[in-house]
Amino acid sequence: MKTIITNSLTHSYTYKEYRDLVAHYALEGKTSGNTQTPDYINYTKLNEARMHRLDKTLQITAQTSDFLAQLNGDFLWIVIAETWCGDAAQVTPVIHKMAEASAHIELRIVLRDEQEELMNLFLTNGTKSIPKLIIIDKNTFEVIADFGPRPAGAKQLIVDYKAAHGVVDETAKIELQKWYLNNKGVEIQNEIIALLENATAKV
């Protein structure tokens, strides 16, 4: 696992580099990943607008800020994403704001389809669902926790919608984006903080 993680870092992005990539693809009418379709290209364009808004407006909570200010140890956070992924567009800016709040966190982003070996280590119910945050202790290089692809409330929304309609369609995706908009990244922050609290308590 350590070798796979180390190898993935040689093809990773800073948050700014990733944002530049999303913006470039949106402008050029392209998308990342192996699926090059008009729908995925359109999703990348939508995600550029979403991430641009979140970068300007999103704020972490006082509780999150206080916790991160007192964080002990040094951590590497790796996010597996793709430019077309609607969940990644909502979750990754929150993770970035959290990483910015602590000098003890280094954030890197990798593309799922470029890092298949890494993705296969962090499947969700056997699927390559993204985004996925991998939290690594820098001193030991051990994975201490992972998060994703969605916070519990967003996950439940999709589960309930599929139970009612039998499929996850465009309407479901719109409802999911509304959920993220209303929640303002709070549940993402709370779940990641809980993971960190649990992991650091065991050290």
CA dihedral 104, 78, 154, 62 (to 10 degrees): 10
**3-class SS string, the chain:** CHHHHHHHHCCCECHHHHHHHHHHHHHHCCCCCCCCCHHHHHHHHHHHHHHHHHHHHCCCCHHHHHHHHCCCCCEEEEEEECCCCHHHHHHHHHHHHHHHCCCCEEEEEEEHHHCHHHHHCCCECCECCCCEEEEEECCCCEEEEEECCCCHHHHHHHHHHHHHHCCCCHHHHHHHHHHHHHHCCHHHHHHHHHHHHHHHHCC
Phi, psi of 144 (to 5 degrees): -100, -20
Residues of the chain with pLDDT under 50: none
Measured CA to CA in angstroms, residue 50 lies from 1, 23, 25, 131, 169 at distances of 33, 11, 14, 15, 20
pTM listed for this prediction = 0.96
Q: Give the pLDDT confidence score for residue 86 in this predicted structure.
A: 96
Residues paired with 13 in a beta bridge: 109
Q: Give the pLDDT confidence score for residue 202 in this predicted structure.
A: 66
Residues paired with 110 in a beta bridge: 80
The edge-to-edge listing of strands for the beta sheet with 105-111 is 105-111, 75-81, 132-137, 142-147
Q: Give the pLDDT confidence score for residue 98 in this predicted structure.
A: 98
